[in-house]
Structure 1
Amino acid sequence: MKKLFVSLSIISVVAIIAYLFSALYSTHQIHKGIYYNDKAIIREYIEWKQLRQNLKNYLNIKLLKVTQKDEDFKNLGSLGVLITSFTSKIVDTFLDTYVNSEGLSMLLQENQMVRKLPKPGFDTLLGGFKIMEFKNHSSFRIKHKVDKQEISLLFQREGIDWKITQIEFPEDLLKEFKKVNNG
C-alpha cells in the first residue's frame, strides 16, 4: 500500500512539472520565433483564426467607441453609420490579410523593439515563470512592457500545446500610434 501511495505521489508531481514545463516551453518557443523571426515556430504556437477574430472584435469595438464620441460622426447620422460599417469591413479585410505568420514576420523584420529582447536561452526559459500568470488550468497570461506600454498575451491550452489566442493592447495604443504617425 505504501508503494502505491509513493508511486501515485511521484506520478502526480511529474505530471504537474510536465504541465508547467509545457506552458513554459511554449512561451520560450514564441520568444525564439519572435527573436529569430522564425515563421515555422510562429505558425505553430499562435492560434491564428482565433487571434484574428479577437483582434477584429477589439478593433471594431475601439472604432465604434471612437465614432460614438466624435461629434462629426454624430452629425452625419446614417451616413456616419455607413462609413463606420465600411471602415469595419476594411479593418476585417486588413486583419484577414496580414494577421498570419508571414505578415507577422514582415512586421518583425522592421521592428526595432525586437532587437531589445534578450537572446533566447536557458535563463530566459526559466525566467518565463516570473512573467506567467495562470488564469485557470487551461490559460495563462504574459504581460510585457514596451516603452511604458503594456501588451498582454493570452495563451490557451490545446491538448498538451499552448498557443496565443488573444493579444490585449493598452487603452491608449491608438492615440500613441496617431502621435507617432502624425508628427
Structure 2
Amino acid sequence: MNKVILGAVALITVAGTGWYFASPSMAMAGLRDAALQGDKDELAEIVDFPAVRDSIKSQFKAQMAAEMAKEQNNGFAVLGAAFAMGMVDTMIDGVITPEGIKAMVENGRLKAKTSANAAEAEPKKPAEWEIERVSFDKFRATPKGGDKAFAMVFKRDGLGWDLVEIDLPDNLMDKSRAQ
C-alpha cells in the first residue's frame, strides 16, 4: 500500500514538474498554430482580446501623455497629440484582432511587413519565440531575432494559458524609432 502511495506521489510530482516547464512552450505553440491557421474560435479561447486591447491602450496613452508634456511649448504638437489621443481606442480596437495577432505571431514584429519588404524576402517559417517564466502563473514570450522591444504576456487559466497583455517598448514614441 505504501509503495502505491509513494508511486502515485512520484507520478504526480513528475507530471507537475513536466507541466511547469513544458506548458508555456505548448501555449505559445497553440497560439502560433491557431494564428497561422486563421482559427478565430481557437484564438478567442487563447487570447483575452479585451484585456490585451486595454493593456495596449493604457501603455500607448501614457506614452502619448509623456510626449505631450515634453512638447507643451509647441501648441501644434500638443493639439496634434490631443487629437491622436482621441483616436487611440478606435485604432487599437482595429489592430488587435485575430488578423493582427496573426501578423505579430508570424512576423515577430509589432508592424506588418510592407509589400516592398515582402517581395524581397523569400517565404520563411514563422518567428521563433523565447519564453521567460515571470512567476508560477505568468510568462512572457519575445520574438527571437525580431523586434525584442515587445513581449506577449500570458497568464495561467486553470491548467492552460491566456494571452492577456502585450508589453510595448518604453520608447515607442521616440522619433528615432520611426522608420
> In the alignment, what sits opposite 2:28?
27
For 1:177 and 1:116, locate their aligned partners in 2 and report how far apart those are by CA, in whole Å: 28
Would the alpha carbon gap of residues 58 and 116 (structure 1) be closer, same or farther in structure 2, given more than 3 Å must change? farther
Structure 2: runs of 5+ lacking an equivalent = none
> In the alignment, what sits opposite 2:153?
154
Pairs within 5 Å for 1:159-170: 159-170=158-169
SS, match of residue 178 in structure 2 = helix
> In the alignment, what sits opposite 2:4?
3
> In the alignment, what sits opposite 2:66?
65
1:66 CA drift (Å): 1.0
Would the alpha carbon gap of residues 60 and 152 (structure 1) be closer, same or farther in structure 2, given more than 3 Å must change? same
Would the alpha carbon gap of residues 158 and 83 (structure 1) be closer, same or farther in structure 2, given more than 3 Å must change? same
For 2:147 and 2:55, locate their aligned partners in 1 and report how far apart those are by CA, in whole Å: 23
What are the superposed Cα offsets for residues 97-124 of structure 1, whole Å, 9 maximum, x if unpaired? 33222454578796459x54448xxxx7
For 1:36 and 1:42, locate their aligned partners in 2 and report how far apart those are by CA, in whole Å: 10
Pairs within 5 Å for 1:47-62: 47-62=48-63
For 2:60 and 2:67, locate their aligned partners in 1 and report how far apart those are by CA, in whole Å: 10
1:167 CA drift (Å): 1.3
For 1:146 and 1:117, locate their aligned partners in 2 and report how far apart those are by CA, in whole Å: 13
Contact 1:47 1:164 in 2 (8 A): yes
Q: Report the TM-score, using the length of structure 1 for normalisation.
A: 0.70
Q: Percent identity?
A: 20
Q: Report the TM-score, using the length of structure 2 for normalisation.
A: 0.72
